[in-house]
Structure 1
């Protein structure tokens, strides 16, 4: 028997009450907090470059990021004939992301415009835009940017590599670095037995003559093995020294770096991290013999700035997805953003994100001015560790709160939120965990008096901007003066210093709505432990409207 079934009987539902995809927007133009910070800290002259890259970061780069993370890098140890390759293959999306980032100056902008005030500020903003769209490629881009101060210790040889960074193009060809159109630089510090204690490294350097050395040993974390060269630490008779170890030698042969495996990481999927052994790999010393830690710490100072930047970017991306969703999704007869409690959550997230961006850009200005202003150099020395600790610590709970705003949609892989959540803990671990940063703050305060003076001068510059900050300045002075049991108090002291600096920067920014809300919630005690606990009198709607301006 044939039974006719009208097709409409099988229409189970219509898709309604869903936010449209968030793509095709300008990530710079839609971010008033970033624009204000860039101009405040001296990078406004790069407005056109930032707008151009912002268009990519909210469009093509955002789409490519999904592809690059879905198709993870693959290790290829041998060719079909049995020849050793030790190479990593990447999806085309990864190469396109790198191409766009290098072309727009993410690794090289500050060095191409070296000496121009605000160059590092503008470059930090470019990197922040990039890291919103795709995070894993930030590893080689950051290391390439940060390698320059160390490379400059290598004289003319180092300057040749620097020129390839400042003016280079993305060039993934397997060739000697100095014969390419552009280079990427990685680093290898950590060994199995040492972790942050790099002085326990056992990798050894043996002098060959003609300023070259043979490296024998291993690295437990060898970041971005596809880079053209790596800065590594190894022992020689004078102590630990720093060396530039190229991937390919001048004659075109592969250097004797054997990749053992790629790390199977929680996040950062588009990027390859590896374990390697050096079987007599050839390298050149960078800096003075036995001064390797001091040499590579010049690189670490900049990579720590980028840890702040990366966490700020992840928070920013999570925030704009939460706000976008809440503006469209309806529950109980009105949009999510119209519900008072959701407004509190979104406003609190917006305030946290803006403060993170503001502190990051302020430290970028200090880095920018360090060469010509001793006080800014001292401030950069301590504020980098303070900011790296606090901003990176805030990232993971921030992203989780943003996921809650989307509900189950924030927990499925079609959304960017799960990727951001996996990525969120990375920057608190990379380049020294939280304890390392707090101990570094104590070291700076105890050994370099100028850092405490610069910190207090930064806070005093905003005195009178809000009573809560004025009280906090006095309390922080007392904390710094009390040397008893200071190590167990290091996290508490560092957190208070971070909040005070953020308040000072926001006050000087001139937006009283933002700075008052921050001071009253973060310094005034009118807030609970979770996000979404602002005072009912806080300017929630204004903070949300400022957080993400559609374009």
Structure 2
């Protein structure tokens, strides 16, 4: 036997080929259907290049490299000057250049102002698909997207920054905004002593004159993306907690006094730089009135919460794609894994979870496109914390189960599943933990009676379509009536309402077998607490619906 034959005989057998060369957008039937019903086929056409590039071997490799070579903080240059720069691997810049180029940052706000339909839905679908290349670089993209609605608290500041934030030119490096083709935004809210309780912040803001500029003194325990060009931060002014815009480089091209103390060593999200920073006379421009900092920055929080839902739904979809692809190619016990009834049950269950998350995420993005509609605005106020709580909370268990579908292969870094698993708890923590979002649901219900009407109207569009959904809605309303137990039961209520909302979307729009499986497990009485406990009807068709094609 020749050496060539020896190598061939020893090559891998019964291994699934790598999932590359597929269109991440068009191979996702649930995504295609959601975008079409809330938008149009033209939205999908506009995402064609993004979808194809996201599924390439090159994109997969850059995603792995960006995490294998995390950012590094350079505090001083070789001459001893304080520079506080963060250096990234070239793969990070490759990913960022394409995310910005595809308009996944602030571009939709200007498109919407220009009258473009479905701008936020298009961006949401693109963010969902592109995040499957690598989740960490989605953070600065998300911060930049979310900054614009907050900046509108001051039209002059918004006019100055929005065109640069919306630019499709990725222009990294610390330079004055006027010298750049495009800029990115970050955010710093939490401090050591406060965490989610931002009103406990101790950073002080002192006015420099009456022109709206202040100096900041204090620290921020988590500041996202310290190499970005501007940051929205909270600090205590004379009138109370206030929102400020902090430019990294000032208009006169000098560096603002902002010390990056360290980069956080995180469980996941390792490609992205999360930092601890110190303000010591840092110049900042007031955004909105003194004492209204939370109200000013809340629009940024709402937008980043949407991206948390999108990011978690993207992790679900990516993990599901890898699992369904693997079982469609791997043989065991005399046949393909996908033909085994119990494996069908597991993958179908994962598919139902993923489709429910995708349907809800795209419905929320559509509400942003119709923000001037009072009913849609009310729906978004309640549905965002519901979805943020539920979808993000479901992700770790779902990704872990998908990993198990690959067996030992899924536990190996080369598969990409360990990266996804480390990432999976993140979105449930950032932009308000599970408790914060569950309590925000109660807060929205108590402050704005119209939000319950908007939610129930949306869910009620499926009334009579499935008795299990109808019963679950009635149970949720009964929980709302028990006012003495609302806070202690806030998580149970949030989860139930979110599942009812997902169930309504699936009953109205998904294939009958998908809706039946969801309502029977998530809203019925037969749920076993683990994936793979669905009733036996229609499992193979659910699996086939969700398996990528190349």
Q: TM-score, normalised by structure 2?
A: 0.96
Contact kept in structure 2, 1:41 and 1:362, CA below 8 Å: yes
Q: Deviations over 1:115-135 (max 9, x none)?
A: 434221111111101111110
Matches within 5 A, 1:189-200: 189-200=189-200
- Return the offset for 1:166: 2.1
SS in 2 for 1:349: helix
The 4+ residue runs of structure 1 with deviation greater than 6 A are 5-12
Contact kept in structure 1, 2:345 and 2:533, CA below 8 Å: yes
- Return the offset for 1:510: 5.0
- 2:322 counterpart of 1:321: yes
Contact kept in structure 1, 2:102 and 2:168, CA below 8 Å: no
Give the direction of change, closer, same or farther, for the CA distance of 1:289–1:324 in structure 2 (3 Å limit). Answer: same
Q: Distance in 1 between matches of 2:9 and 2:339?
A: 30
Q: Deviations over 1:311-360 (max 9, x none)?
A: 00001100000011101111111011111110100000000000000011
- 2:141 counterpart of 1:141: yes
* 1:105 aligned partner: 103
Q: Distance in 2 between matches of 1:6 and 1:350?
A: 44
- 2:24 counterpart of 1:27: yes
* 2:468 aligned partner: 468
SS in 1 for 2:244: strand
Matches within 5 A, 1:81-160: 81-114=79-112, 115-160=115-160
- 2:291 counterpart of 1:290: yes
Q: Deviations over 1:496-529 (max 9, x none)?
A: 1011000111122153232222112221223210
- Return the offset for 1:225: 0.2
Give the direction of change, closer, same or farther, for the CA distance of 1:47–1:12 in structure 2 (3 Å limit). Answer: closer
* 2:375 aligned partner: 375
- Return the offset for 1:27: 0.2
Q: Distance in 1 between matches of 2:379 and 2:8?
A: 64
Q: Distance in 1 between matches of 2:40 and 2:271?
A: 30
Give the direction of change, closer, same or farther, for the CA distance of 1:6–1:375 in structure 2 (3 Å limit). Answer: closer
Give the direction of change, closer, same or farther, for the CA distance of 1:330–1:164 in structure 2 (3 Å limit). Answer: same
Q: Deviations over 1:391-446 (max 9, x none)?
A: 00110011110111011111111111000000000000000100000000011111
Contact kept in structure 2, 1:247 and 1:254, CA below 8 Å: yes
* 2:418 aligned partner: 418
* Count of residues in correspondence between the two structures: 545
Q: Distance in 1 between matches of 2:9 and 2:515?
A: 50
Which of 34, 47, 50 matches 1:50? 47
Q: Distance in 2 between matches of 1:220 and 1:469?
A: 43
Contact kept in structure 1, 2:399 and 2:421, CA below 8 Å: yes
- 2:428 counterpart of 1:431: no
Q: Distance in 1 between matches of 2:101 and 2:67?
A: 21
- Return the offset for 1:452: 1.0
Q: Distance in 2 between matches of 1:243 and 1:488?
A: 35
- Return the offset for 1:62: 2.3
Contact kept in structure 1, 2:321 and 2:548, CA below 8 Å: no
- Root mean square deviation of aligned Cα: 1.7
* 1:401 aligned partner: 401
Give the direction of change, closer, same or farther, for the CA distance of 1:30–1:9 in structure 2 (3 Å limit). Answer: closer
* 1:331 aligned partner: 332
- Return the offset for 1:47: 1.6
Q: Distance in 1 between matches of 2:404 and 2:172?
A: 40
Contact kept in structure 1, 2:410 and 2:418, CA below 8 Å: yes
Q: Distance in 1 between matches of 2:405 and 2:453?
A: 42
Matches within 5 A, 1:149-548: 149-209=149-209, 210-371=211-372, 373-509=373-509, 511-536=511-536, 538-548=537-547
SS in 2 for 1:220: strand
- Return the offset for 1:6: 10
SS in 2 for 1:400: helix
SS in 1 for 2:223: strand
Give the direction of change, closer, same or farther, for the CA distance of 1:179–1:158 in structure 2 (3 Å limit). Answer: farther
Structure 1: give runs of 5+ residues left out of the alignment. none
- Return the offset for 1:8: 8.7
Q: TM-score, normalised by structure 1?
A: 0.96
